[in-house]
């Protein structure tokens, strides 16, 4: 086998798996602490088409934990920084940066469409509820990050269907907000570690300012990416298999 970007991945997933990755269409919602690492994993695995949706810009406080945040990207839209990094790793990737926030009322049929997989790294309750409600209604396989901030113990991170998550307050909120919907295609990465502090401040968008380490969000992001990769190549059951609805 000649040396190329996909050589080591192909030893795991095979030639057919590489073909599936190259033809896959993934929508990544959120390119921050978790989403940046989701992007990293997907691009290095050879996923061929990624739409990155994020309306935020890179700030100095992002430097402690976000792979897209460097002194050179400060002040730039995160979606554009994501696209630039993706192309610097794999020039063949088709990456669409969309500088838009997903909020209640966003036209998700137009913004999301029907990709093969949705990667949810949104960090607001309203935006995450809107996205997961759309994914559930359209029955699109979705891999969703629950709360990574305020956690310090990587050993407490796990994966489960939305209805099988425990301890995480964000996951509990999603279960309530999606009650009555078929969430069987939503797989979650979450932590069973209780939050280590209570947020007291909010930013200009009303989002809580939460403490976060460099490490835990990265593990969340790469775990999400791994689940998506295994799903695309058919080496892992789809999120629906043997998983109850929320």
Residues 181-197 have pLDDT tens digits of 999 999 999 999 999 87
Residue 49: both structure tokens together: 């088409």
Query: Is the pLDDT reported for residue 243 higher than 70?
Result: no
Q: Name which of 82, 14, 90 is nearest 53 in CA terms.
A: 82
122-170 pLDDT, tens per residue? 999 999 999 999 999 999 999 999 999 999 999 999 999 999 999 999 9
Task: Classify domain 14-233 by CATH architecture.
Answer: 3-Layer(aba) Sandwich (3.40)
Domain layout of the chain by residue ranges: 14-233
Query: What is the model's pTM?
Result: 0.92
Query: Per residue in 4-16, is it b (16+ CB within 10 Å) or e — as a string?
Result: ebbeebbeebeee
Beta bridge partners of 143: 119, 187
Backbone angles phi, psi at 29, to 5 degrees: -100, 110
Range name among 15-29, 87-101, 183-197, 202-216 with the lowest pLDDT average:
202-216
Q: Name which of 241, 145, 232, 144 is nearest 184 in CA terms.
A: 241
Separation CA 232–CA 192 (nearest Å): 27
Average pLDDT taken over every residue of the chain? 93
Separation CA 127–CA 108 (nearest Å): 11
pLDDT classification of 84: cutoffs 50, 70, 90: very high
pLDDT classification of 3: cutoffs 50, 70, 90: confident
Beta bridge partners of 186: 142
């Amino acid at each position: 086998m000649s040396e190329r970007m996909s050589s080591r991945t192909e030893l795991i997933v095979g030639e057919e798996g590489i073909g599936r990755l190259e033809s896959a269409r993934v929508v990544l919602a959120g390119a921050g602490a978790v989403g940046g690492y989701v992007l990293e994993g997907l691009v290095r695995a050879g996923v061929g088409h990624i739409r990155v949706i994020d309306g935020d810009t890179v700030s100095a406080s992002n430097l402690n934990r976000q792979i897209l945040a460097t002194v050179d990207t400060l002040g730039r839209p995160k979606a554009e920084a994501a696209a630039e990094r993706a192309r610097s790793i794999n020039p063949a990737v088709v990456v669409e940066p969309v500088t838009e926030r997903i909020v209640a009322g966003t036209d998700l049929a137009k913004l999301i469409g029907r990709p093969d997989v949705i990667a949810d790294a949104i960090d607001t309750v309203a935006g995450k509820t809107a996205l997961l409600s759309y994914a559930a209604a359209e029955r699109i396989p979705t891999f969703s990050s629950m709360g990574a901030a305020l956690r310090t113990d990587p050993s407490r991170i796990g994966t489960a269907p939305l209805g099988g998550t425990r301890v995480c307050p964000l996951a509990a909120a999603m279960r309530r907000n999606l009650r009555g919907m078929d969430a069987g295609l939503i797989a979650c990465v979450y932590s069973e570690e209780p939050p280590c502090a209570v947020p007291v401040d909010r930013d200009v968008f009303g989002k809580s300012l939460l403490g976060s380490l460099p490490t835990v969000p990265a593990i969340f992001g790469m775990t999400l990416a791994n689940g998506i990769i295994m799903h695309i190549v058919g080496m892992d059951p789809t999120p629906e298999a043997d998983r109850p609805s929320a």
